[in-house]
Amino acid sequence: MLYLIGLGLADEKDITVKGLEIVRKAERVYLEAYTSILLVNHEKLEAFYGRPLILADREMVESASDEILADADKVDVAFLVVGDPFGATTHSDLLLRARQLSIPTQTIHNASIMNAIGTTGLQLYNFGQTVSMPFFTDSWKPSSFYDRVAENRRIGLHTLVLLDIKVKEPSLENLARGRKIYEPPRFMTVAECAVQMLETEEERKEGVYGERSLAVGVARVGSTEQKIISGTLRELTSIDMGPPLHSLVLLGKRTHDLERDVLAEWAVNPEVLNEVWTKDYAKQ
């Protein structure tokens, strides 16, 4: 059997009992190590699980899946994913390859940012499409996320923005030269995301959002070090939310006063939040 096991959001203890039982009996255990991270290192996971973990980077998962699936029709293989296996990255391709090889599969679900974002006080029913924000470069500033945000905003829905991470990735120069030399890990912050969103609005000039648009930044959701800050996009451009991982929510106009009351607790400036809410968001 190939097991896809969600690890939850924070540390080694977030795994489910069912998932832990499978990990401890599996022949091999892989830790997917490129779409997200836990707040503890893999050595701490190994100590708690009582098993060695094979780090599975993007290259292994996308190009060497045969290694992961080897003999999985005869023995149990566990593939661990931070959050839920069908959260931000579905890993459907790995499941399809397994099924093509007549390997049975089973998924053990867990919490992910997709549902835990409710900790902000925003109602999950009022979220639209989730988008991803990549790191911009001087020559590459993709804005496809902007169109999805616009669609959400037209029907009043909030947008969850997942922020880019760079783990074991080569620079463009090393990639062009075929050198396997990797850049240090990078994790986008809420402030960087807010800056890039305003830069994109300035470029597109379609009025989808602006400096006064309300947003919520979150960091390390699900941990004892969780942090939530609400305010305007302009206010969030100068916020330091500490270590990764970060995410951001851009508010839609389909809001409830209860959401306002909760967000006021996290506000950079409650007076500004209430003023913007009353003028731009209330009773829309």
DSSP string, 171-217: -HHHHHTT---BPPPEE--HHHHHHHHHHHHHHH-S-S--TT-EEEE
Burial class (CB in 10 A: 0-12, 13-18, 19+), 218: buried
- Coil/strand/helix, residue 216: strand
221 marked as part of a ligand binding site: yes
207 marked as part of a ligand binding site: no
23 marked as part of a ligand binding site: no
Strands 2-6 and 105-108: parallel
Decide: 43 and 116 in contact? Cβ < 8 Å: no
Q: Which residue has the tokens 């997200």?
A: 36
113 marked as part of a ligand binding site: yes
Question: How many whole angstroms separate alpha carbon 105 and alpha carbon 109?
Answer: 13
252 marked as part of a ligand binding site: no
Residues with Cβ within 8 Å of 93's Cβ and at least 6 positions away in sequence, in order, are: 62, 65
- Bridge partners for 139 per DSSP: none
Q: What are the structure tokens assigned to 76, written together?
A: 């149990």
Question: How many whole angstroms separate alpha carbon 174 and alpha carbon 181?
Answer: 6
Decide: 85 and 107 in contact? Cβ < 8 Å: yes
How many CA atoms lie within 13 Å of 25's alpha carbon, on the beta-carbon side? 11
Decide: 219 and 241 in contact? Cβ < 8 Å: yes
65 marked as part of a ligand binding site: no
Known binding residues are 9, 84, 87, 112-113, 163, 221, 246
Known binding positions for S-adenosyl-L-methionine: 9, 84, 87, 112-113, 163, 221, 246
